[in-house]
């Protein structure tokens, strides 16, 4: 548990109040404005400061090994951010190792104190399918457990390139199955299971929903996708065509454009390491935006960051889900860049994001 400063807590409160709601193509869209900046088309002040610092730090750095191959460990070491615990009540934390079809799967369980069964959220961290850790998302998961009054199970799925597709995906689906089969042990209601994830974890979460529907296991009742990867091949579709002109940039043009393009440059390599020729990048199990039919998927919340390369495909996925009859809500955080939830306790938007996911969970499960 932590003690936040008054300024930070005030910004979190302002985010709740400073939003604009509209409906487009059957999707409810909530735009969250920067809480302490009147102008538009700019980075949030906290993002701007960190982007400038990061640019200075990374000048002259390299991620190549001696034989000029990508240094995976160096890339992994740069992922994540030192964040803060924003919870105000006790959240019990337990580490377990469960058994999946391909061996052991470490998980971490975050549980509020409760005398009755709670909803469950199975969470998958981001990291481009090649990195990310349970530690990076521990504080977001604790916050979600508190705010949603739900048991959150964070999954340490196997990573590429050592374990290419479908290793990580199967670990995630097996973890959901384990949660579904152990309700008493976890103190949950097995009919109230949601999935959530950020970036690559958002991809794994929604593909697990596809598998759940295809296999008719009917375990997942809600999905919350935070700036998800849903079009690994970056293919143009009826809903999607990437264009920098879709980004409203009125200030700090060079910094914002380079930040947006940075993920575009890294993405193809991460995806190649994940797929390794095992499956076409157009397959719905890696690019769910390209699925012919998304009907039958659970109610969905999609979170995007205004200055994230993945924003446009997240919006396209929302529209396609809505056309398939899925109830969808889309929230955009203005001034944010990719991976902003890693900075919970520093970026008020990260905590507000957990607030919004918690609202969705409580609404679906009447909890």
Residues with a catalytic annotation lie at: 199
How far, in Å, are 57, 67, 139, 237 from residue 175 at the CA level? 38, 37, 20, 32
Dist CA 186 CA 119 (whole Å): 10
Phi and psi of 328, rounded to 5°? -130, 140
Using CA atoms, how far residue 92 sits from 47, 52, 95, 121, 363, in Å, is 31, 37, 10, 15, 24
Q: Using alpha carbons only, what angle is made at residue 260 by residues 256 and 266, rounded to the nearest 5 degrees?
A: 140
In which residue are the tokens 């090649």 written?
A: 130
Half-sphere exposure of 281 (CA within 13 A, CB side): 18
From residue 352, give the alpha-carbon distance in Å to each of 49, 196, 343, 356: 20, 15, 12, 6
Q: Which helix (H) or strand (E) holds 253?
A: helix 253-275
In whole angstroms, give the CA distance from residue 256 to residue 310: 14
Q: Which two tokens stand for residue 262?
A: 């940075």
């Amino acid at each position: 548990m932590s003690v936040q400063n008054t300024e930070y807590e005030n910004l979190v409160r302002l985010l709740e109040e400073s939003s604009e709601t509209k409906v487009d193509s059957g999707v409810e869209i909530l735009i969250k404005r920067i809480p302490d900046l009147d102008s538009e088309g700019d980075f949030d002040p906290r993002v701007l400061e960190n982007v400038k610092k990061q640019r200075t730090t990374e000048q002259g750095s390299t991620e190549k090994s001696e034989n000029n191959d990508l240094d995976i460990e160096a890339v992994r070491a740069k992922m994540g951010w030192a964040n803060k615990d924003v919870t105000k009540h006790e959240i019990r934390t337990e580490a377990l190792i469960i058994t999946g079809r391909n061996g052991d799967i470490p998980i971490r369980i975050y549980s509020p104190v409760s005398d009755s069964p709670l909803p469950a959220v199975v969470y998958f961290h981001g990291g481009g399918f090649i990195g990310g850790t349970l530690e990076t998302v521990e504080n977001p998961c604790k916050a979600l457990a508190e705010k949603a009054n739900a048991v959150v199970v964070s999954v340490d799925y196997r990573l590429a390139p050592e374990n290419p597709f479908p290793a990580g995906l199967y670990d995630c689906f097996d973890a959901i199955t384990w949660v579904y089969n152990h309700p008493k042990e976890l103190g949950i209601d097995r009919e109230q299971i949601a999935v959530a994830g950020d970036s690559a974890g958002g991809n794994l979460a929604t593909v697990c929903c596809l598998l759940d529907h295809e296999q008719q296991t009917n375990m997942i009742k809600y999905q919350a996708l935070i700036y998800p990867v849903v079009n690994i091949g970056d293919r143009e579709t009826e809903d999607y065509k990437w264009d920098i002109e879709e980004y409203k940039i009125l200030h700090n043009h060079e910094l914002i454009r380079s930040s947006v393009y940075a993920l575009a440059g890294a993405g193809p390599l991460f995806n190649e390491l994940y797929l390794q020729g095992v499956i076409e990048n157009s397959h719905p199990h890696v690019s769910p935006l390209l699925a012919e039919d998304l009907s039958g998927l659970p109610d969905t919340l999609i979170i995007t960051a205004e200055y994230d390369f993945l924003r446009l495909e997240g919006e396209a996925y929302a529209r396609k889900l809505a056309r398939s009859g899925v109830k969808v809500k889309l929230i955009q955080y203005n001034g944010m860049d990719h991976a902003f939830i890693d900075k919970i306790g520093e970026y008020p938007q990260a905590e507000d994001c957990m607030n919004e996911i918690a609202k969705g969970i409580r609404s679906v499960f009447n909890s």
